[in-house]
Structure 1
Amino acid sequence: MFDSFNWGAGVIIVNLILSLAIAIVVAIAIILIALEWQHRNRPGNDLELRAVNWEKTPTEPQRLLLKGEFELCNRTKTLEIMVPEVTAKVKLLSDGSLANTRVNTRIIAAHEATTPRADDYWLAYIVKARHLTRFQVIIDIQSPNLKELQSAWVQIRYVTYGPQGRIPKVRHLVIPMQYPDPQIPPTPRPVEGGGQVFPIRTHLLAQLDDPVEVVQRYVMPHAKPGDIVTMGETPLALIQGRFRHPTEVKPGWVAVRICYFFMPTSSLATACGLQTLVDIVGPVRVFGAFVGGAIGKVLGHPGGFYELAGEQARLIDDVTGTLPPYDQFIVLGPEDPQGVVNRIRQATGLEAAIVDVNDLKAVKILAATSGLSTALVERSLRSNPAGNADERTPLVLIRPESDQSL
């Protein structure tokens, strides 16, 4: 009887210990899940760098100043983020040699309640929640061939220091320095089946541009009622800042393993190129599109991956996919192209379309104003009058055969 009682008590104690252990494990798991959820949903070092304005001022026949205004904005509600470092690097692109060209870059902080230092030292600064600080970048260019300079590729490198640790970041900006005369008539090209197209040359489009203003500046001096204006999807994406340097892309498990299965010429055949798609639509959708596309290909239905992964899968241009200096970047598809063409028509009265055209006579219309004949646009652009090289003609004016005079 005594032994039986001890055995029963031991079982009870063991059960209590096991129950307590399970409860502790469950509690720890819940705490870890809660911490992970909280971590993923916290903003962390959410400090946004904004380019406010750029000015180009010739000071001497062989000297030019570029002045840029920037803001560092803390978008969090409660967190303080420090900025211990900010530097600027400039790469000039030119039609000629840069052998006798000198570039000097200065960063002048404009922190609240502080006096800018004469030595241009960046004083580490705390940006409080929902506040911002400002600074100015001054680029002093001295060159005997200023007129040959095409653009300045500016890299603003800064460090955020806060809840996520010390995170280096970079913001890329392209500043155009050559502007063609918008009054020079473009050269017309005949269209098979009737009509004409006019490739419109512009400056190197960048984030400081607005697509409507670009059309007003370069197209409207030559447009007539009934004309149609088209803009390439890549130039529009560049204006919208939808490009990423490969150093900013961190390929994950899906991108590293699946990229090998794409054709070598595809923009998704590199881990960074495919990762940009993963970052847009998520790894689950990309993996599912890969599996579904593979099954569809076996069943005689190629192209299933792009149908399942979404429109952005077809629009990504990997490194080397566009003109310098954007050839160093992965360019995404544009955002809200329908809204852009609607704005163009409202401001100019012209029918408009955002298009993706290549030298293989493939024309894809991403967005078009209502009532526009897509068949006419496709026929007019089949020869790719804008080109895929360094023509710098992102706009094409289409004139139907009813009126072909400029």
Structure 2
Amino acid sequence: MTGRIIHIDTAKSWRGGQQQAAYLHEGLLHRKIDSLMVCPEHSAMALWCRERRYPVQTLPLCCEADIVSALRLARTVKRSGRCILHAHNAHAMTLALMAKLRVKKQAAVIASRRVDFPLKSHSWAQWKYRTSLLDGIICVSHEIQRVMLHQGISENTLRVIPSGIDIHTSDTLKQSPAFREEWHIPTDHKIVCTVAAMTSEKDYPTFLEAARRVIQAYPKVHFMAVGDGKQLASIKALAGHKGLQDHLVFTGFRRDVGWFLKNSDLFVLASKKEGLGTSILDAEAAGLAVIGTDAGGIPEVIHHGENGLIVPRQNPEALSLAILSLLRDDEKRKEFGKKSLDLVRNFDIGLTVEKHIGLYEEILKKY
């Protein structure tokens, strides 16, 4: 493939979208494709790239309409020759389109859409998803594609490429008594884990209420919440109000997520909004039975009754009953976990990278 891929990610923190952008950048470089990451200085992405000596350019990216950053990006494009600007979040999309106005036909612009929210109603948000300057929108699930079509976005603009993971991350990990000792979890307690940012769309209130109901009926259980975010303090306060402190551990942000999944018995994601749910994929790769809601793309990664259960979103009673059913049925839980290992192969990051390369090649032929 001839042409440079310039990824743009404006986030300073590290969440699922950043992991996907990082996977893609790394995958392209390993295939000897010219790839550059553009991100803010002092961001988690900049640190990740520098630790690995991967190509990275930092820009101020002080706001969505950062003209200085857009001009500097345009200069990078002019030095790069023919290229694709791949925006990995909404603010990055604005920056890419502003740069495109300066470089015209030298660069194509594509954007990844990772959330199943409707488009914002204001004119700028509507324009940037409909402008002819945009060459394509990658939807990480069919549900996101459905939402975009409902918003009136042309089907010709949309391409579904599911997010992927390194399905072998947990291969060498094993359950260890040291894990339970570290987190003060009794050996006869089962562990139910969730991995989710502390934000409204992850719906921790439903997760906590379901946990409360489960503990009442099945006391020998511990819940673990792996993640951080702006709602951490209020979520911890709610957990305390519900009296969960003796059965619930908040770990904060962790890079060793596989260690937590491998030592868990069951994985739960209570989201009320979800683009796809890569934390579910990570749990499947660890050989876990999984429970999720019917939100967004979650039903695309959990096969109900095969490797896990789907329950209605924002329904703590249904969620608690699903958790209890699998805690009480060791055979079914293990059977679901084995099936997870089979299903997750469809989401190997290698497949995701190859699908992106195919799209890049299609677009570059037009330039």
Structure 1 length-normalised TM: 0.25
User: Larger Rg: 1 or 2?
Assistant: 1
Higher helix share: 2
> Structure 1 or 2: larger strand share?
1
- TM-score w.r.t. length of structure 2: 0.26
